[in-house]
Structure formats: structure tokens, C-alpha cells
Amino acid sequence: MSKKFVLGSSLIDFSWDFRSVETGLSLVQYFECTLSGHGASNKGYSEGLFALACKKRSLSEAWERWWLNHFPLFEIDNLPQPKSSNGFAAHKRIELALRASRLELIERRDVILSWQKPGTWKRLGEDSVLRFIDLFIERVTASKAWCVEFYLIRSSFGTTTVIGLLVHKGGGIIFDSTSTDGRINLGLLLKLVFSLLRSIPFINIDNLDLKVELPENGIPKDHLNFYFNKENAKAFDLHRFHSGVGKSLINDFHGVESVKLIDKAGFPALAYSYHSDWDDISWGKRSLHANGWPHPIA
């Protein structure tokens, strides 16, 4: 598919196509979208039960990444250049994009701060919903090797960051998180589970026992493989076995700024949220924290 897009004096011919990716996981659809324009291409990915919804989300992710790499085209005075996709969000409507960008920024901040202070995460207790999710994971992976754990971090300004750990019986851990300003329900937890499952095809089971080193300047996938090593995964023990009250450590939420970037019919809406006093996220050895471990965001 292709479509022309006008931004100020720029006329950009965009084209995109989709590819179904084989993951070896049953029930789960996984799509890759390649978006091209202005002589550059970016890819987006999405997973779920339904192909059409996956395609739309993969296009939104490719759209985010393309504009992240072409941020100067917006020509907005005094808007800081993002160094990562943190706080950068596309959605079908601009109000949803603004909400998603704010929630992502808060989610990542919650993870970074809490990672340095064990006892911040509150474990979501065992119930029939969690047992159902474990059975679902067993069905999707055709394996009894995995189980999931959820932890909560609640703020005083109405958001909850939900942390998901997909734990392999060999000791490795896959981490992901999301944030909401609504209720914690099965739909939200399953969305996080799908995001965790999408990482399985990209990890090496051999990493459970092999020593994994981080490069000085890394990428998110480096952290994924780092924490699938069973020795490195012990970094989570301080959080898993010291469940706390689940209170957010963010005390300067009101400094979050949100900006509408794109709101045009026929294209995903795009928004960017940032906080001038919050450090951007980096990966690799330079992301080491005072506790001696790099953050788990992958």
C-alpha cells in the first residue's frame, strides 16, 4: 500500500507492506510491517490473536520508528530531540496517542527507579485468572517450561505500572511491562503476556548456561539475552522474593509534557511525552545502576 503525506513544506510518499512471521507459537499471530518513505525504511511488529489488529499495530510501531528517525521534520521550537522511543506513541486517534505516550514514559520511569530499590514491586497474588494464563502459555508454547509472574507499582496520580516476568524452569527470565490509568483486568494481563511471548523466538535457550556479556553501548535485545542467562536472572530475586507495597517512587509527575505531532485523517496519530528532568534510557554497560545490574527493559 502507499499514500502521500504532507507535513509543512514536506511531501512524503509512504509505502508499506506486511509479512507474517513464523514463531513456532500456536494461536499467536505475529506480523512485521515495513514502512518506507523519504529513502528510508523502518520495521514494526505486533502480536495477538487476530491478524487485522496485529497489522494495524505493526504499522503504528513502524510509523513511530520512522518519525523518531526523522524528528527534525517536525520543526517545533524548544522540543527536545528524543534519544529513544520512550514516550513516543502512535494510535488511531490523537487523544489515545497522547495517553499512550504519557503512560509509556511513566511506566519506564517506574521501572528505572524501582529497579534500584528492591521491595518496591508488589506481587499480584495467585488466583484463577493467573492459573488460566499459565495454562494459556502452556498451550501456546506446547511446553510446561514457562510460568508468569505479575507485579504492580501504583502511583498517587492514578496510574499503575504492571511488570510481567516470564520465568523459564531453567532459571532464565523474560521481562516486560505496561502501564494503565484504568483497572487491572484479564485483557491487560493477556496483552502483556503476548508481548512477553513475542520474545521467545528471539532468545537462545543456550543462554541459560552460557556467560552473557553486555556491550558498552547496547540495544534492547542485548538486555533480553542478558537476563535469559540463569545467573544474570538472579538480579530479579531481590524483587521477586521481597515483595513490597507497590508504591511508585515518582514524585515529580507534574513535569511531564505531552505534544501532538501528527493528527491527520488516514494516518496513525502520533504524540510525544517527555520530562526535562528525567534521564533518557540507554542500553549496555552504560546502563548499570548502583545495584550493579543493568535495567531489564528490552
> 103-119: per-residue pLDDT in tens?
999 999 999 999 989 88
Average pLDDT, the chain: 92
- Is residue 267's pLDDT more than 80? yes
- Is residue 185's pLDDT more than 90? yes
How open is the CA angle 112-84-73, to the nearest 5 degrees? 150
Pick the CATH number of 1-75 from 1.10.1740, 2.60.40, 3.30.230, 3.30.160: 3.30.160
More confident residue, 141 or 206: 141
Q: How far does Cα 69 stand from its chain's mean position?
A: 18
Residue ranges of the chain that CATH labels 3.30.160: 1-75
Please tell me the distance from the alpha carbon of residue 87 to that of residue 66, in angstroms, as a whole number: 15
- Is residue 220's pLDDT more than 80? yes
Burial of residue 96, with CB atoms counted within 10 A of its CB: 0-12 exposed, 13-18 middle, 19 or more buried: middle
The candidate with the shortest Cα–Cα distance to 66, out of 222, 240, 292, 270, is 270
Reduced to 3 states (helix: H, G, I; strand: E, B; else coil), residue 248 is: coil
Average pLDDT of span 189-207: 88
> Which stretches within 13-127 are classed as H helix?
51-69, 94-115
Q: Is the pTM of this model over 0.85?
A: yes
Q: What is the largest CA-CA distance in the chain?
A: 56
DSSP tag of 117: S
What's the confidence (pLDDT) of residue 195?
A: 93
Please tell me the distance from the alpha carbon of residue 211 to that of residue 278, in angstroms, as a whole number: 32
The candidate with the shortest Cα–Cα distance to 197, out of 143, 128, 130, is 143
Q: How many residues does the chain have?
A: 298
What's the confidence (pLDDT) of residue 9?
A: 80
Please tell me the distance from the alpha carbon of residue 190 to that of residue 135, in angstroms, as a whole number: 12
What does DSSP say about strands 160-168 and 256-262: parallel, antiparallel, or unpaired?
Answer: unpaired
Reduced to 3 states (helix: H, G, I; strand: E, B; else coil), residue 128 is: helix
- Copy the grid coordinates of residue 115: 529497579
What's the confidence (pLDDT) of residue 78?
A: 84
Confidence band, pLDDT 50/70/90 cuts, at residue 201: confident
Average pLDDT of span 210-218: 86
- Copy the grid coordinates of residue 87: 514516550
> 19-37: per-residue pLDDT in tens?
999 888 888 899 999 999 9
Average pLDDT of span 245-261: 93
Please tell me the distance from the alpha carbon of residue 55 to that of residue 126, in angstroms, as a whole number: 34
- Is residue 99's pLDDT more than 90? yes
- Is residue 290's pLDDT more than 70? no
Average pLDDT of span 226-245: 91
Share of the chain above pLDDT 70, in %: 100
